[in-house]
């Protein structure tokens, strides 16, 4: 799942905690800017089984 408007101080663990109730999570990726090494403002959350996640909008 693509997640927008992620705050600069958000960590992968924070997203796991927020999205964990919707189903088992396989991976959380918060991309960093190549030069500044700061988060780019978005993230990806990969669920184990998308069909098992509850609800379509979070």
Q: How far is residue 7 CA from its own chain's centroid?
A: 11
Residue bearing the bigger pLDDT, 34 or 51? 34
Please tell me the predicted confidence (pLDDT) of residue 31: 96
The reply to whether 7 falls in a domain is yes
The reply to whether 43 falls in a domain is yes
Please tell me the predicted confidence (pLDDT) of residue 24: 95
For residue 26, the domain's CATH number is 3.30.70.330
Please tell me the predicted confidence (pLDDT) of residue 56: 58
Half-sphere exposure of 20 (CA within 13 A, CB side): 7
The reply to whether 53 falls in a domain is no
Domain interval for residue 36: 2-47
* Digit-coded pLDDT (tens) for 11-43: 999 999 999 999 999 999 999 999 999 999 999
Residue 26 Cα distances to 3, 13, 34, angstroms: 15, 12, 24
């Amino acid at each position: 799942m693509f997640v927008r408007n992620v705050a600069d101080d958000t960590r992968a663990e924070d997203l796991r905690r927020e999205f964990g109730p919707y189903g088992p999570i396989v991976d959380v990726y918060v991309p960093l800017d190549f030069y500044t090494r700061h988060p780019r403002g978005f993230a990806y959350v990969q669920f184990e089984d998308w069909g098992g996640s509850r609800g379509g909008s979070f």
